[in-house]
Structure 1
Amino acid sequence: MQDFILTLADLGNTNTGNIETIFAQANGFLGVRASGPVLEKNATPGSFVNGFYESNEIIYGENAYGYAKNHETMVKLFDLRTIEISLIDEMFSKLVQRELFLNMKTGILNENYVYATPSGKQIKISLESFTSHANRHVYAQKWNITALNFEGNIRVIKNAKHIAPAVDSEFDPRVREASTKLVFEKNKLTTVNSNLSLYFKFDEYNDEFELNKGQTQEFVQLYQLSRENLFLDIDYDDLKVQQEHIFQEFWDVSDIEIIGDDRLQKGIRLNLYHLFNSAGRDGKTNFAAKGLTGEGYEGHYFWDTEMYLLPFFIYTQPDIAKSLLSYRVNQLSIAKERAKELDFKGALYPWRGISGHETSAYYPAGTAQLHINGDISYAFQLYEKVTGDHEFIALARDVIYETARFWISYGFHSSRGFEIHEVTGPDEYTALVNNNYYTNKMAQNNLYYAYELAKRFDENEKESIFWQQAAKQMYFGYDNKRKITQQDDSFLSKEPWDFDETPLQNYPLLLHYHPMKIYKHQVLKQADTLLAHMLFAEDIEQMARDCDFYEPLTTHDSSLSRAVHGVIASRLGRDKQAYSFFSDSAIMDLADIQGNAAHGIHAANMGGSWLGLVYGFAGLHFTSEGELAFENHLPREIQAIKFKIKYKNEIKEVFFEQKGK
């Protein structure tokens, strides 16, 4: 049970922002940062509703046709946690002691604080809270206030406060101010530009009472936010019981036991906990890059969902996976409009955004990442392969057809084969290149899957022949002299980045060097060609040569990178390296390895840590005959692992221990 309890002692960095992120609570609809009851310096309290955003026009110094038109930023709504406690003429404002106990097994957070007045009177605040998974509109709190060394008349005010916009002077393109002006009308709030509305029902507490030394006053508050003006009568204790039951069901299937490494055990459970909490469930929302725990990346949805998060959900929580995929189905018409706007056929999904429209103002590392289409197709294909839910694919197959149509429209046939030019692959330190290996591989898979579905449903007969031909003739660059897969047509001819002359403080490179400086060099932000090898493992010797070449050129500036390299290392039998990469992935936010956990969790990495265990150490893969298989790649640092997956409605238990035992 202790491995399910997270405390401040588990954190590698206990600054205010990190605490607020790591102990944040969410339920797929509503998220609340774990700010302290009495606001501290640098505190960033906030609550978020998945998919609730404000839009603003993007102002370009030099505009061009087809550029994204509007920003979309998930709105930081209310401070639901700050409390004001005072005696007649003194505020309890000095923090004396703080304890946090997050029970990941139940989704309930318990906190204890001791605050003092300037004259030394001390009060203890105990808070139990959770975002309800039984009723996702509810954030529930139970407060206990105890006089420790005095008696007197206590005044308590506990109301929700709208968080007004503030200017952040820190330069970081990954963060954008999320507070915004809202229009309030009775129990309704509306954004000014996006014209989205939420209704709210908040319990307010404003009381004055006498406390003797050691005496406690208790009260409960329930905060409700909904897209509809409909609220049910709810009971705190009933919600708590339901919460414990829902989390028990989750862990029964999704838990991973790591035997022999307590630190990594807690890290992986924290990651799975946050994955369960922040996934959209309604088919209209998805999974923001920072979940519902912070304002990093503006609450946008990326390819992270399909390639790093969905495998976990597909294999353990297929209903959630289906909801996340349904979001892409529901946004198909917007994706078709975007392709048409750019003068192409089919559908082009946005690189980043919330509503389904493209919001990336920097197209070389945004719209040009066309692999998003192939990523989405791959996720639908994996879902069908693992769940056997052919009925859903039948309803969703237009997503596969329309993305295939885009590739035919965008690419072209040459003497070398079917080529795809002017794209950016996962490695965002290399932009606007021809024949990115990962992009071409995902497009090929997309086209084959579309062809397969067309045959299955006896439709698009003439068109599907072109899909099959393009897939068969897809061009992949290869350096015969060095026997290396070309990341793209130009990468191998570039000058290598001078890592020896790059100070540690200049990472991530994107914060210290202009893109033109980065793009002209051999340097990778994250796994690119190697990610394709992880998904389509065809030649182990080729994988090894490519790993030897590309890994030393990779900065791992993206949190998405380490997990993939860990899986590759496992498959190559490089256990020490695999363990190192997995360790970083498992505790990335727990230890604040990226140095920015205060902005919100690294959700894709959390999904990646599951990949590291299941795809890497346990070697999950499909055989050439399409059968599910495993291989034991456990490093010696871990004695054993135990987990479950769902495969075609059947739960399979997997256990691996050290080879030779």
Structure 2
Amino acid sequence: MKNFILSLDDLGNQEQGNIETLFAQANGFLGVRASLPIPVRASNPGSFVNGYYETHPIIYGETAYGYAKNHETIVKLFDFKSMEIKIGEEKLTKLMQQSIECDLMNGVLHECYEYTTVSGLQARLEIESFASHANRSVYAQKIKISPLNFSGPIEIKKKAKLIQPTGNAEFDPRVREASTKLLVNANQIVTPNSSLSLFTAFDSIDTKVQLDKNENFEFTQIYQMARQNHFETVEYEQLKAEQEVIFAEFWDKSDIQIEGDEELQKGIRVNLYHLFNSAGRDGKTNFAAKGLTGEGYEGHYFWDTEMYLLPFFIYTQPEIAKELLSYRLSILPQALERAKELDFDGALFAWRTQSGNETSAYYPAGTAQLHINGDIAYAFQLYDQVTGDEEFIAKSREVIYNTARFWLSYGFMSKRGFEIHEVTGPDEYTALVNNNYYTNKMAQNNLAYASELAERFSEHLYERENWKNASEAMFFGYDEARKLTKQDDSFLDKEPWPFNETPKENYPLLLHYHPMKIYKHQVLKQADTILAHMIYPEPEEQIKRDFDFYEPLTTHDSSLSRAIHGVVASRLGRPNEAYRFFADSATMDLSDMQGNAAHGIHAANMGGSWLGLVYGFAGLQIEGNELKFKNHLPEQITRLSFKVHFQGKSYHVDFKKQ
């Protein structure tokens, strides 16, 4: 069972902020960081509610028509963890020892701290806590306080503390101040600008007890937050028992067993645990880039959900996948309005958002990433293929039709074929280019799927032919001399980035170089053409040439990159290279590889680690109407076992090293 226990030993010597992220508890609605109960060192406590954000006008020095108008920033709400403990007249002020273990199997966090006063009086503090999956309004704690070297009075004060804005001077465009001054009225809190409301029901304690050395004082606290002012009476032990049942079912469907590498076994389970915890489940919220574990990326939803997270949910937890896709359906009106605002037909989904409105202030690496339309269509299509849920697809097909209408309006037919200009692909170090290969592949599929659905439902006859014709005529650049797929019309003509002259501390490049410096070079932030090859395989020799050209130019500055390269390396018969990429992906946050785990988990990478195992080492692909697998296990992994669900049936896949 030790590979279902995450402990401090698994993190090495990491900073407090990273600990608070990795041990955070969440249930898709609310999340709570694992901050210190008595904060004797720098700590970043906080709780979050999925889709609860504040808006602020985006201030441009120079603006233009159609620019995004407002920030939407997830609100860091309450500190549910901290308390004040006095022994006589002395506060516990020094941390002597700590032990933190998260029981991944049951979704429960166990913490043990030993504190001392200035004069040396010592007490042990044990905390058990979880964000309830049975009742998602609830965060529950059970706390036990024990004297270690004294008998006497202990005073305990513990209540939820609303976090106030502090200002954030750190330069990092991926992070923004998340706390805000909320309007408080009895048990209701309201954001001043976005006018979003939450209701609360909190337990608090303010008591003094007399304890001997062999005694302890134990109490439970229930914190509840909801969008309606209605709360059920709940019992701690009952919620805990229900939590265990829910997680047992989750692991039965979703666990991946690895033999040969215990560190990676632990890593993949931590990743799957956080994926289950942070996914929205109400059809109106989605999956933030940092889950519900931190304020990174302002709590925004990106294409990460569709391309990196949904495959895991579609194959193992289709009911959650359906809710995540339902969110996209719910914001279709905003996408229709956005396309209209930019003078195009159909729908254009926001690059980063919570409400459905575009919030990306830097359009070359935001709105211009039109591939999000194709990403969303691809996710609906994959759900369609894997689940056969005809009723949901019938309900959602306007998403596919309207994204197809956008491509017809935005692209154009030339002598070369159907072209799409002035876009930015997944490689955000190359912006505003013509015929990005990945974008064109996703658009081609989007158009073809729209045509297929129109035929299936016997509608839109005229449009159906236009969608089909544009899909079949899609232009893809190719360099005949070098036999390379062109990432876009201009990439191969650029000067390579001077990697040998770039110091290690200057990565990620986006924090050290102006976009104009980056954009003029051959350099990639993450998988682009290689991602397209993972989804839509080309002949193996072509993929080899492209992989050997593009991967050395890739910084992997984005956490989304390594897993995709690992999948493709597996398929190319390069097990050692694939293993290296997968190992990085499986343990990225445990090792703080990106240097910013304190801002929240790298959720897309966590989904990518599932892709690395299932799409990569196990070679899963859909051919026709069947699942196909191929054993690509590297020598470091002697056995791989997991389940997937396909068209109403459960498949248990078990590979051993050949």
- Specify if TM > 0.5: yes
1:270 and 1:93 map into 2 onto residues whose CA distance is 32
Tell me what 2:572 maps to. 572
2:10 and 2:40 map into 1 onto residues whose CA distance is 21
Name the aligned partner's letter for residue 125 of structure 2. I
Q: Which runs of 5+ in 1 are unaligned?
A: none
Name the aligned partner's letter for residue 68 of structure 1. A
Give CA-to-partner distance per residue, 1:538-558, whole Å, 9 cap, x none. 211111000000000000000
Tell me what 2:523 maps to. 523
SS in structure 2 at match of 1:423: coil
Name the aligned partner's letter for residue 651 of structure 1. S
Q: Which runs of 5+ in 2 are unaligned?
A: none
Residues 142-157 of structure 1: matches in 2 within 5 Å?
142-157=142-157
1:320 and 1:87 map into 2 onto residues whose CA distance is 48
2:333 and 2:10 map into 1 onto residues whose CA distance is 46
Is contact 1:78-1:162 (8 Å) kept?
yes
Distance 1:357 1:13, change over 3 A: farther
SS in structure 1 at match of 2:558: coil
Cα displacement (A) at 1:328: 0.3
Tell me what 1:202 maps to. 202
Name the aligned partner's letter for residue 134 of structure 1. A
Cα displacement (A) at 1:506: 0.3
SS in structure 2 at match of 1:193: coil
1:110 and 1:100 map into 2 onto residues whose CA distance is 6
1:33 and 1:622 map into 2 onto residues whose CA distance is 39
Is contact 1:387-1:649 (8 Å) kept?
yes
| 2:646 maps to 1:647 | yes
1:153 and 1:633 map into 2 onto residues whose CA distance is 63
| 2:25 maps to 1:25 | yes
Tell me what 1:632 maps to. 631
1:198 and 1:657 map into 2 onto residues whose CA distance is 51
Give CA-to-partner distance per residue, 1:229-266, whole Å, 9 cap, x none. 00001000100000000000000010000001000000
1:651 and 1:12 map into 2 onto residues whose CA distance is 38
Give CA-to-partner distance per residue, 1:195-218, whole Å, 9 cap, x none. 000000000100011111131000
Cα displacement (A) at 1:123: 0.4
SS in structure 2 at match of 1:181: coil
C-alpha RMSD over aligned residues: 0.6
Cα displacement (A) at 1:39: 1.1
Tell me what 2:189 maps to. 189
Q: How many pairs align?
A: 658
Tell me what 2:498 maps to. 498
Name the aligned partner's letter for residue 566 of structure 1. G
Name the aligned partner's letter for residue 191 of structure 2. T
Cα displacement (A) at 1:13: 4.1
Cα displacement (A) at 1:14: 2.3
Is contact 1:620-1:631 (8 Å) kept?
yes
Is contact 2:447-2:467 (8 Å) kept?
yes
Is contact 2:95-2:116 (8 Å) kept?
yes
Name the aligned partner's letter for residue 26 of structure 1. A
Tell me what 1:394 maps to. 394
SS in structure 2 at match of 1:269: helix
Is contact 1:12-1:592 (8 Å) kept?
no
Cα displacement (A) at 1:25: 0.3
Is contact 1:291-1:299 (8 Å) kept?
yes
Tell me what 1:356 maps to. 356
Which one is further off, 209-218 or 274-283?
209-218
SS in structure 1 at match of 2:655: strand
| 2:567 maps to 1:542 | no
Percent identity between the aligned chains? 67
Name the aligned partner's letter for residue 569 of structure 1. A
Residues 113-262 of structure 1: matches in 2 within 5 Å?
113-262=113-262
User: Runs of 4+ in structure 1 displaced over 3 angstroms?
Assistant: none
Tell me what 2:277 maps to. 277
Give CA-to-partner distance per residue, 1:504-533, whole Å, 9 cap, x none. 000000000000000000000000000000
Name the aligned partner's letter for residue 630 of structure 2. E
SS in structure 1 at match of 2:42: coil
| 2:344 maps to 1:334 | no
Name the aligned partner's letter for residue 646 of structure 1. H
1:448 and 1:627 map into 2 onto residues whose CA distance is 20
SS in structure 2 at match of 1:359: coil
1:340 and 1:326 map into 2 onto residues whose CA distance is 22
Give CA-to-partner distance per residue, 1:568-619, whole Å, 9 cap, x none. 0000001110000000000000111111101000000000000000000000
2:558 and 2:444 map into 1 onto residues whose CA distance is 26
1:537 and 1:392 map into 2 onto residues whose CA distance is 28
Cα displacement (A) at 1:40: 3.5
SS in structure 1 at match of 2:85: strand
Is contact 1:435-1:475 (8 Å) kept?
yes
Is contact 2:132-2:239 (8 Å) kept?
yes
Tell me what 2:601 maps to. 601
Cα displacement (A) at 1:366: 0.1
Tell me what 1:77 maps to. 77
Is contact 1:98-1:114 (8 Å) kept?
yes
Name the aligned partner's letter for residue 535 of structure 1. I
Name the aligned partner's letter for residue 463 of structure 1. E
2:14 and 2:93 map into 1 onto residues whose CA distance is 20
SS in structure 2 at match of 1:481: coil
Is contact 1:283-1:323 (8 Å) kept?
yes
1:374 and 1:254 map into 2 onto residues whose CA distance is 27
SS in structure 2 at match of 1:466: helix
Tell me what 2:6 maps to. 6
Give CA-to-partner distance per residue, 1:320-364, whole Å, 9 cap, x none. 000000000000011000000000000000000100000000000
Is contact 2:290-2:602 (8 Å) kept?
yes
Is contact 2:338-2:348 (8 Å) kept?
yes
Which one is further off, 381-390 or 36-45?
36-45
TM-score normalized with structure 2 length: 1.00
| 2:441 maps to 1:441 | yes
Tell me what 2:476 maps to. 476
Is contact 1:423-1:431 (8 Å) kept?
yes
SS in structure 2 at match of 1:224: strand
Is contact 1:13-1:591 (8 Å) kept?
no
Tell me what 2:450 maps to. 450
Is contact 2:40-2:94 (8 Å) kept?
no
Tell me what 2:308 maps to. 308
Distance 1:397 1:13, change over 3 A: farther
Name the aligned partner's letter for residue 145 of structure 1. I
Name the aligned partner's letter for residue 248 of structure 1. A
